[in-house]
Amino acid sequence: MENITIGITCGDINGIGLEIILKALALKNAGRSFKTVIYGSTKVVAYHKNIITQENIQFHSVQSPADAQPERVNIINCWPDNVNITLGKPTDVSGKCAFLALERAVKDLKAGEIDALVTAPIHKKAMQMANFPFVGHTEYITDAFGAKGSLMLMVSENLRIGVATNHLPLREVAAAVTAEKVLRKLQILAETLRIDFNLGKPTIAVLGLNPHAGDEGAIGTEDDAVIRLAVEQAKEKGILAFGPYPADGFFGSGQFHKFDAVLAMYHDQGLIPFKTLSFGEGTNYTAGLASVRTSPDHGTAYDIAGKGEADETSFIRALYLAADIVRNRSEYLEMHANSLERRKRKALESETGEDEEVVEVIPEE
């Protein structure tokens, strides 16, 4: 863990992002088992430092993550100019700064300069004003890595919920929910549960699209014709998927406790119950990528920006989840590499006939 370096984007400089980052890094036990690097600006970070009461923060400007020091707040400057901070409002400047920080951080993540990335919240309106060509972080990072797909996975201590469709208008959801897409999301979810969360045989509940999961076709045919088909196809591939379940009763009855994860069909179907049960203590994880990216489970919170009231709990959880996943992946790869080596060795011994046990005989004196 001591060798892990986690990059942190500043997010929207008019929101609470840098406040929660600095509060988190100021804690005695936060950031000590791994190094952290903020992508932003020393001047902007210093501005937000004046908002909080924590004093044990030492800035360290670095050119690259390799120069980061364990006990410092390391900062990589992503833009050279002074910028105007307008707390509590989306501006083209706040969008541009967030974009520049994200761009540099993802570049370093792809190059292996950092082991994981934690992104502070951005504001979609500000990003549009800065000509950011994506709906959000998840879509940008997925595209940057050239991944065929990814999964937005909300994670808390007792609940994991993925969504089949991300930031999509509700009127477009039904057409976007195809058997192929649901199956692909189930494959990503099952793999990340095994590798990133160290679960041997994870179980996944799949929610229906329509009220009462369609009521056997009385309220829509998608649940039987599309989602159930995808669940059956997933089972054929060895994935322990079950459903579709009616979403309301599933959470109301506490059925979610019986599964390792849940796949919802659209954004609010998954995030409303998640935030109701875990708001402020959850993490957004982008599953299915070659690299690790997490973020807190809330937005820019413009209404409290600059007031020193923001709660850093979710951000701390995002930091430690990122580090845990890096460690779990490393252990998984090492374990399976050793297993492959053992299989190769046994196969070679079998071919050469050298698989018999050798007993050393020590003659009596």
- Domain CATH number, residue 220: 3.40.718.10
Looking at the domain assignment, is residue 193 inside a domain? yes
Last residue of a domain, one of 283, 315, 336: 283
Looking at the domain assignment, is residue 90 inside a domain? yes
Are residues 77 and 196 located together in one domain of the fold?
no
Are residues 35 and 135 located together in one domain of the fold?
yes
β-sheet with 292-296: strand ranges across: 59-61, 73-77, 35-40, 5-9, 116-119, 292-296, 283-287, 151-155, 160-163, 261-264, 203-207, 240-245
Question: CB of 289 within 8 A of CB of 145?
Answer: yes
Q: For position 347, what pLDDT does the model report?
A: 54
Q: For position 58, what pLDDT does the model report?
A: 82
Are residues 9 and 71 located together in one domain of the fold?
yes
Are residues 60 and 163 located together in one domain of the fold?
no
Q: For position 335, what pLDDT does the model report?
A: 83
Are residues 89 and 154 located together in one domain of the fold?
no
Quick one: which of 95, 101, 93 has its CA closest to 126?
Answer: 95
Looking at the domain assignment, is residue 74 inside a domain? yes
Q: What is the DSSP letter of 239?
A: -
Distances (CA, A) of 190 to 247, 259, 261, 264: 20, 12, 9, 14
Are residues 226 and 335 located together in one domain of the fold?
no
Are residues 105 and 231 located together in one domain of the fold?
no
Tokens 């791994």 -> residue: 34
Q: For position 53, what pLDDT does the model report?
A: 84
For the chain, the helix, strand and coil percentages under 3-state DSSP, each to the nearest 5: 45, 15, 40
- Those residues whose C-beta lies under 8 Å from the C-beta of residue 151, and which sit 6 or more positions away, are 162, 163, 185, 188, 189, 192, 286, 287, 288
Q: For position 32, what pLDDT does the model report?
A: 60
Looking at the domain assignment, is residue 20 inside a domain? yes
Q: Distance between CA atoms of 36 and 277, rounded to whole angstroms?
A: 29
The boundaries of the domain holding residue 222 are: 149-283
Beta bridge pairs of residue 294: 118, 285
Are residues 273 and 300 located together in one domain of the fold?
no
Chain CA centroid to CA 228, Å: 27
Distances (CA, A) of 142 to 39, 288, 291, 295: 19, 9, 10, 15
Are residues 257 and 317 located together in one domain of the fold?
no
Are residues 143 and 156 located together in one domain of the fold?
no
- Report the chain's terminal Cα–Cα distance, integer Å: 53
Total count of domains within the chain: 2
| pTM for this model (two decimals) | 0.87
In tens digits, the chain (365 residues) has pLDDT values of 558 999 999 999 999 999 999 999 988 555 467 899 999 999 999 999 999 987 778 889 999 999 998 878 999 999 988 999 999 999 999 999 999 999 999 999 999 999 999 999 999 999 999 999 998 898 999 999 998 889 999 999 989 999 999 888 999 999 999 999 999 999 999 999 999 999 999 999 999 999 988 778 888 899 999 999 999 999 999 999 999 999 989 998 999 999 999 999 999 999 999 999 998 889 999 999 999 999 999 999 999 999 999 999 999 999 999 999 999 999 998 887 765 555 555 555 555 555 544 333 334 43
- Tokens coding 274: 């998640």
Q: For position 351, what pLDDT does the model report?
A: 56
Q: For position 357, what pLDDT does the model report?
A: 41
Are residues 323 and 232 located together in one domain of the fold?
no
